[in-house]
Amino acid sequence: MKRIGEVALALGLSVDTLRYYEKIGLVKNIQRNGSGVRCYQESDIARLRFVKRAQKIGFSLGEIASLLNFRGNPQKAKPLVRELALQKLTELEQHLKEITALRDELSQLVNLCNATPEGCPILDSFETD
Amino acid sequence: MKRIGEVALALGLSVDTLRYYEKIGLVKNIQRNGSGVRCYQESDIARLRFVKRAQKIGFSLGEIASLLNFRGNPQKAKPLVRELALQKLTELEQHLKEITALRDELSQLVNLCNATPEGCPILDSFETD
DNA sequence: GCTTGACCTGAAGTTGGCTCCAAGTCATAA
DNA sequence: TTATGACTTGGAGCCAACTTCAGGTCAAGC
C-alpha cells in the first residue's frame, strides 16, 4: 500500500507520469484512502513495471495497453502478442537500416571535410543534386 | 518562376509545408506577383532542396536554419559545420546502439516464443523483475 | 456569368508522452 | 498553532513538424 511519491521514487517515474498513466487508463482502479490519496497495491506496481519494461522494448503506450489487456487471457493472447512483437521487430530493423545509412553518409562527409583543406564539403554536398 | 503547387510537386512536399517553411523563416523573401501569389525562383528551390537533403541526413529544421546561415560564409562556416556534423554523428551512433539493443532483446523474446509450446513468454518477460 | 481550382491569410488542431500550474486538502512535527 | 510537505484536482503548456480549417481572392474555361 504505497503512496504515489514512494511508487514514483521506486520506479523512477514522476508522480505526474503516474497520474497521467491513470488518466489514460493504463493503470486502473487505484485504491484511495479516506482522504482521497492513492494507495498503490503490489499488483498495481507490478503493472507499472510491466509498462516500463514494455516501453523500454519499444512499445508505445497504446500498444502496451493492448498487451495489458491480452494479459488476462494468455492462451488467446499468444498469437496476438507474437504478431505485435514481430511487427515491432520489423519496424526496429527498418529503423536500424535507415539510421545506419544516415550514419554512413554523414561519416563520409566528415571524413571528406577532414581531407579538404578549404571550403566546406558538407555544405557543398547539400547544394548539388 | 514557379508557383507553390509546382514547387510542391517537384520537391515532394505539400504546399502547406512550403508555406510553413516560409513562416518559420527557413526560406525567405519569396517573390509575389501582382495577386500576392508566391513565385519561387531557382535559388529558392535550391534552398528548399538543401533543406530536404539536410533533413534526410538527420538535421532538425532549427539546425538546418543554422546551416543555411553558415552558407553565406564558407570559410568561417567550416569548423562550425564540422562540429555540428560530428555532434550529429555521435547522436546517430548512440541511437544506433540503443535500437540494436532493443532489436536483440525483442528478437530473443520472439525466438523464445517460437520455442515455447504454451503460455506467452513475451508477456511473462514483462511480469518478472 | 458562373463554376472550378489554385492560391491567399491567420489561427487552431494533431501526435505522444509527458510536465507544469493554481488552488485546495490533509497529516504531522516543532 | 502554525508551518511544512505530500497529496488532490482540472486544465493548460510543451516539443517538432506539420496539417487542417474557415473564409476570401483571383484567373481561366465553358
B10: in domain? yes
- If one counts the domains in chain A, the total is 2
State how far the Cα of A56 lies from the Cα of A59, in Å rounded to an integer: 7
Residues of B in CB contact (< 8 Å) with A are 46, 49-50, 53-54, 56-58, 67, 70-71, 74-75, 77-78, 81-82, 85-86, 88-89, 92-93, 95-96, 99-100, 102-103, 105-107, 109-110, 113, 118-120, 122-123, 125-127, 129
Contacts by B79-83, CB closer than 8 A, 24 or more apart: B81/A113, B81/A120, B81/A122, B81/A123, B82/A110, B82/A113, B82/A120, B82/A122
Query: Phi, psi at residue B3, to the nearest 5°?
Result: -85, 165
For B69-86, the pLDDT digits (tens) are 887 776 777 888 888 888
A55, closest nucleotide (Cα–C1'): C17
Residues A13, A53 share a domain: yes
Residues B22-41 have a mean pLDDT of 95
State how far the Cα of A104 lies from the Cα of A116, in Å rounded to an integer: 18
For residue B42, what is its C-alpha cell? 531557382
B116: in domain? yes
A29: in domain? yes
Taking the CA of residue B29 and the nearest CA in chain A, the distance in Å comes to 19
What pLDDT is recorded for position B129?
Answer: 43
- Residues ≥6 apart with Cβ < 8 Å to A48: A7, A11, A13, A18, A21, A27, A40
For B77-129, the pLDDT digits (tens) are 788 888 888 888 888 888 888 888 888 888 888 888 778 877 777 767 665 54
> What is the average pLDDT score of chain A?
86
Residues B96, B52 share a domain: no
B50: in domain? yes
For residue A53, what is its C-alpha cell? 519494461
Given B78, B96, B113, which is nearest A103 (Cβ)?
B96
Reported as a pLDDT band with limits 50, 70 and 90, residue A74 is low
A78: in domain? no
Residues B43, B100 share a domain: no
For residue B102, what is its C-alpha cell? 532493443
Look at A78 and B113 and tell me if their CB atoms are within 8 Å. Answer: yes
pLDDT at A128 over 70: no
Domain that includes residue B113, residue range: 89-129
Residues A66, A121 share a domain: no
- Using an 8 Å CB-CB cutoff, list chain B residues near A110: 82, 85-86, 89
Given B50, B57, B106, which is nearest A92 (Cβ)?
B106
Residues A106, A52 share a domain: no
Residues A32, A12 share a domain: yes
Reported as a pLDDT band with limits 50, 70 and 90, residue B1 is very high
Size of interface A-B (CB pairs under 8 A): 118
Q: Is there a contact between B11 and B40 (Cβ–Cβ < 8 Å)?
A: no
State how far the Cα of A54 lies from the Cα of A57, in Å rounded to an integer: 5
Which pairing describes strands B38-39 and A31-32: parallel, antiparallel, or unpaired? unpaired
- Residues ≥6 apart with Cβ < 8 Å to A106: B57, B58, B85, B88, B89, B92
Residue ranges near strand D (C-beta within 7 Å): A 3-6, 8, 15, 19, 32, 36-38; B 14, 16-17, 19-20, 34-36, 55, 60-62
- Using an 8 Å CB-CB cutoff, list chain A residues near B81: 113, 120, 122-123
State how far the Cα of B78 lies from the Cα of A123, in Å rounded to an integer: 8
Nearest alpha-carbon partner for B59 in B29, B33, B91:
B91
B2: in domain? yes
- Using an 8 Å CB-CB cutoff, list chain B residues near A86: 110
Residues B9, B68 share a domain: yes
> What is the average pLDDT score of chain B?
87
Residues B93, B56 share a domain: no
Q: Which stretches of chain B are assigned E, i.e. beta strand?
A: 31-32, 38-39
Residues B60, B21 share a domain: yes
Residues A66, A9 share a domain: yes
Reported as a pLDDT band with limits 50, 70 and 90, residue B51 is very high
Residues A125, A62 share a domain: no
B79: in domain? no
Domain edge (last residue) among A51, A72, A93: A72
A77: in domain? no
- Residues ≥6 apart with Cβ < 8 Å to A62: none
Taking the CA of residue A96 and the nearest CA in chain B, the distance in Å comes to 7
Reported as a pLDDT band with limits 50, 70 and 90, residue A129 is very low
Domain edge (last residue) among A72, A102, A120: A72
